[in-house]
Amino acid sequence: MTTAAPPKITYTSANVDLEQFHRLFDEALVRVRGASGKQYPMYIDGKAVTTTAEPIRDVSPIDTTQLLGTFATARPEQIDLAVRAARGAAKGWAALGMTERIALLRRAASLIRERKFDLAATMSIEVGKSRLEAMGDAEESADLIDYYTQQMEDANGFVREMARMTPIEHNLDVLRPFGVFACIAPFNFPLALSAGMSSAALVAGNTIVYKPAEETPWTGLKLYEIYRDAGLPTGVFNLVQGCGHLMGDAIWRHPGVDGVVFTGSKEVGMRIFAEFSARYTRPCLLELGGKNAAIVMDSADIDAAAEGVMRSAFGLQNQKCSATSRVYVHTAVAREFTNALVARTKAIVIGDPSRRDVFFGPVITEESVARYERACAQARSEGQLLMGGQRLTAGALAKGHYVSPAIATLPLESSLFRTELFAPLLVIGEVSSLDEAIAESNRAEYGLTAGIYSGREEEVERFLDELEAGVCYANKRTGATTGAWPGAQAFCGWKGSGSTGKGGCGPYYVMQFMREQSRTTIHAPVPE
């Protein structure tokens, strides 16, 4: 008798039998925790590299006394070695051809699926993700690689026959790789975003210098191991570790880097954008922050709206660039919606997110705790803090970065409606019309995701046409502003949330890692 495969988990999975999933996750947790506490090198040109620089001590935000590992960090000379290795491998990787590159990357996707429980368990304890969030991250990583390789295959490597101006000429339009990309990843989706950015660059024929977030060096190492075990040639994917934007700056500022793909804060991203092309324009693909609005109209299904907003606001402790951080609710249903939302939020189970029953875990760092506390203090002074606002220190929570999910009602002029916090404080403002709701939503400098709850089709259509955001959802119970998936929802930031107008998870992503070349060949008759 064969055992059924565990269900595929996405960020919006619901109503699935999870017993087998939880059993396998528990087994993975034992393996991962048993492997913690080791020392790890970087990998440059296929070789293990250590330095005398202060290493990263990777501790869990669940319990900061738990050392997950110690990771070697790069000095300028290691960054130079990594860029040189990537450049040395670039010609051969591009010449390998689309078919071979696709085969190797699909093998990487298969390895992710084989290892997904260990990968998810690692992310749960390293980031503070719930089980379902962590497994969604792993599943999406494999799907992203498959989706981007399929784009390349479907487009015939982006080679197209063009019109002939004369009978003896042959015209081709081709997209070619730029060369070496710096890939700089965030902590919150340490596998999915890293695998997505890097695989798109790789399938296009570029090589990579990869820096994971300093909070997630273990997950970054596991991605390197996946590419290595899939058979990528040495030098094609190089792993360097380091703390903060200074290390990232040293990578993209290296003269041997041809392009940057970065996910992170608007402040850092815009500085990269401004400086990277100081000499000449080079590709700078940025997915930046968000201040994502949900609109709840008087015709809304209040139960669906409350659940969708709660899930998007407090999944991963609001540490998603797509998280709902503000709600504009029609005055006629403001009290009903707010009461329903508070009730649902108070029912959240808070604790160690690697446990099967926990939805809400710790924030990533002490600085995140401090930012949350400052924002809640401002909310108290400007309006009404309906719940939350405290650091949680009871029992085992005292060892981690735990805070309570917070909800506040505020006047619309509060800066908390426009400032990205990356912390679990949701602010609510009342509006009298859809016009006002859309105008207030568009006031923020960000334009990543947005959602609406309305029973009127014409309101939904106006929202979709007028909201300045790249990812829009209507009446989504499983997440007001979250849940994009490869091939289903492109993840494209407008305004201060992105740089190119074309996003990950979508059909136009891979081509951004390539540049166009027109090829005209004259086939003149050979003289006799």
SS (H, E, C) 275-287: HHCCCCCCCEEEE
Tens of pLDDT along 75-104?
999 999 999 999 999 999 999 999 999 999
pTM of the model: 0.96
The CATH classification of domain 292-485, taken from the options 3.30.360.10, 3.40.309.10, 3.30.1050.10, 3.40.50.460: 3.40.309.10
Residue range 315-320: mean pLDDT, rounded? 98
Residue range 262-275: mean pLDDT, rounded? 94
Q: At residue 255, does pLDDT exceed 50?
A: yes
- Dist. CA 505–CA 528, nearest whole Å: 56
* pLDDT value of position 277: 86
Q: Where are the alpha helices (DSSP H) in 355-504?
A: 366-382, 434-441, 457-466
* pLDDT value of position 3: 59
* pLDDT value of position 14: 61
Between the alpha carbon of residue 486 and those of residues 148, 174, 332, 388, 483, the distances in Å are: 9, 25, 37, 34, 10
Tokens 């568009």 sit at which residue? 442
Residue range 250-255: mean pLDDT, rounded? 95
Give the residue numbers marked as catalytic.
Answer: 287, 321
- Dist. CA 266–CA 288, nearest whole Å: 5
Tokens 């669940």 sit at which residue? 62
Average pLDDT of the residues of the chain:
96
Residue 363's Cα: distance from chain center in Å? 16
Asked whether 429 and 479 are in contact (CB, 8 A), the reply is no
- Dist. CA 57–CA 68, nearest whole Å: 8
Beta strands per DSSP E along 199-253: 207-211, 237-239
Q: How confident is the model at residue 525 (pLDDT cuts 50, 70, 90)?
A: confident
Fold of 21-34+41-288+503-516: Aldehyde Dehydrogenase; Chain A, domain 1 (3.40.605)
Q: How confident is the model at residue 4 (pLDDT cuts 50, 70, 90)?
A: low
104: left (phi over 0), alpha (psi -120 to 50) or beta: alpha
Type of residue at 412: L
- Residue spans per domain, the chain: 21-34+41-288+503-516, 292-485
Residue range 237-257: mean pLDDT, rounded? 91
Tens of pLDDT along 117-165?
999 999 999 999 999 999 999 999 999 999 999 999 999 999 999 999 9
Question: Which residue from 324, 338, 332, 293 is spatially nearest to 433, judged by alpha carbons?
Answer: 332
Tens of pLDDT along 12-53?
766 677 999 999 999 999 999 999 999 999 999 999 999 999
* pLDDT value of position 1: 43
Retrieve residue 332's tokens: 């006629």
